[in-house]
């Protein structure tokens, strides 16, 4: 079964600290992996998109890694800010004949709270 599992479910850190969120997936065939940030009451905002050939991608203080062999990804947040408090969602896209499809499998997210 195609699944995306994220850990931890929730996390509390102090402002200025770093943290790493994990994503394991069993989606196959795989096309790409995305990380989204979703603020409370808002729609998700894309942070990174990685294909199977990419093993790291950065967006400011966010760095995503991908190990397609072990089917694991992580999102590292550096020097956290209060505004980083949100749900972080890992999403994996199914492939069809080597190309991307609209079949996206969403994880349930990691809820991050950054405290002053």
Q: Is 107 in the site for other proteins (CB under 8 A)?
A: yes
91 CB-near residues (< 8 Å, 6+ apart): 4, 33, 34, 35, 36, 104, 105, 106, 107
Q: Which of 55, 83, 108, 115 binds other proteins (CB under 8 A)?
A: 108
64 CB-near residues (< 8 Å, 6+ apart): 33, 35, 47, 48, 50, 56, 57, 58, 73, 74, 75, 76
Q: Which of 11, 49, 71, 72 binds other proteins (CB under 8 A)?
A: 49
Q: Is 101 in the site for other proteins (CB under 8 A)?
A: yes
Helix (H, G, I), strand (E, B) or coil at 63: strand
Q: How many residues bind other proteins (CB under 8 A)?
A: 24
Is there a contact between 115 and 55 (Cβ–Cβ < 8 Å)?
Answer: no
Site residues for other proteins, 26-45, by CB under 8 A, read 31-32, 41-45
Least distance CB 26 / other proteins (angstroms): 14
Site residues for other proteins, 58-77, by CB under 8 A, read none
* Contact residues: other proteins, CB under 8 A: 4, 31-32, 41-46, 49, 89, 91, 93, 99-109
């Amino acid at each position: 079964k195609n699944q995306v599992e994220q850990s931890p479910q929730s996390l509390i850190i102090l402002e200025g600290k770093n943290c790493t969120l994990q994503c394991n997936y069993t989606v196959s065939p795989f096309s790409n992996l995305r990380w989204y940030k979703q603020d409370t009451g808002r729609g998700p905002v894309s942070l990174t998109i990685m294909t199977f050939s990419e093993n790291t991608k950065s967006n400011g203080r966010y760095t995503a890694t991908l190990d397609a062999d072990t089917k694991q990804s992580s999102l590292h947040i550096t020097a956290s800010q209060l505004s980083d408090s949100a749900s972080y969602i890992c999403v994996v896209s199914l492939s069809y004949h080597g190309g991307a499809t609209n079949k996206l499998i969403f994880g349930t997210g990691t809820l991050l709270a950054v405290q002053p």
